[in-house]
Amino acid sequence: MSEEKVSQPQSFVGRTEPAVLSDLRARLRATRWPDAPEEAGWGLGVDLGYLRELVGYWADGFDWDAQEAALNRLPRFRATVGGLGIHYVHARAVAPTGPVLPLVLAHGWPDSFWRYTKVISLLTDPGAHGGDPADAFDVVVPDMPGYGYSDRPTGPPLDSVAVAGLWAELMDGLGYARFGAAGGDIGSHVSRYLALDHPDRVVAVHRTDAGVPVVSGDLAEFTPEEREWFREVAAWGAAEGAYAAMHRTKPQTAAVGLTDSPAGLAAWIVEKLRAWSDCDGDIERSFTKDEILTNVTIYWLTETIGSSMRMYRANGSIPPAQLARRVEVPSGFTLFPGDLVRPPRAWMERSTNVVRVTEAERGGHFAAFEEPELYAEELRTFFRPFRTPGPNPS
């Protein structure tokens, strides 16, 4: 690829002006709260009592300076990729004892590089965490355009196919001719298209879901397990999918309120963190308040809730022919019990070249954050056969 597609990386350090934090706290303290029926709990959306507690802590207890300093201890960079400023973590393997496999980790919504902050050191330095130093990776964790500290596209939003192309350019610019890819949520789609469009460079791909099925033709062609899964996905969409329908259709309407109200932003994100994690209804079994608010504060400071939602609209316009392509690159799946809708083996075999499927004992949609040790071990085990330089193993 041409050198001008990726600019020289520049070290990135997050710095938030005190006035910005003062404005945030003032807005939080001035929140105009809605009413709620008695004992509504989480049944109608976010639990108002929990949100008021969280917002109070955000205003008067949360130490963003400490969280920002912790994020700045990661090796963070910015580079221009395909004409857009992209923020990413690039952490190199520590004391490896064998071939180092570069690995790009693709996040989803509603998060950013934050999703993988707990697993970076587990992957780059497994020997320091009870693992085999031979399993060390060079890890690259980019923020998608319109998320985190990457640029917000000023034109039409980018879909997962386009983002996969950017990540291929980024990895090329970093000097990685061949690499592994892993992701979940939208990051699962991005990883899939990396494997589809760059099979000569992606040695293997690991995903925590198989996406939402788009099915045409005679349902009789599918197995009973697949047809049952289709029904489960449709039922989940009817009960829980209104957020995605709004993101696909009228994201700018909600973006006005979510960009102006930090309490509203927290409500929109926190309800999903709880619903999609393996927390058994208690969100703080999966995330501390500081962890929740670090994710939400990144969205607030970067003003990316609107741009992140617009990606759903772009993905909703991906042609059916793209969605029907089969991944021939060796593929692995780790399915977590608290995730949304878990695909049957028949679908994974139909849509990918499956070489490994495991079912984790715990963890949810944000497995890399909820269960970092378990997730890191899954990646180490899956990618172990693909470390030898040369053609893709089969």
Q: Catalytic positions, please?
A: 185, 312, 365
Q: Residue 331 CB: number of other CB atoms within 10 A?
A: 25
**For residue 374, what are the CA distances in angstroms to 129, 237, 290, 368?**
12, 29, 22, 8
Do the beta carbons of residue 59 and residue 70 sit within 8 Å?
no
Q: 84: Cβ–Cβ under 8 A, 6 or more apart, which residues?
A: 145, 150, 151, 153, 166
CA-to-CA distance for 127 and 222, rounded, in angstroms? 44
| CA dist., res. 376 & res. 381, Å (int) | 9
Angstrom CA distances, 191 to 44, 182, 186, 307, stand at 34, 6, 9, 20
Q: What is the C-alpha to C-alpha distance for residues 307 and 154, in angstroms, rounded to an integer?
A: 9
d(CA 123, CA 127) in angstroms, rounded, equals 9
d(CA 260, CA 263): 9
| 3-state SS, residue 312 | helix
Structure tokens at 296: 């939400």
Contacts of 287 (CB under 8 A, 6+ apart): 273, 277, 279, 369, 370
CA-wise closest residue to 268 among 307, 304, 305: 305
d(CA 101, CA 386): 8
In terms of Cβ atoms closer than 10 Å to its own Cβ (0-12, 13-18, 19+), residue 195 is buried
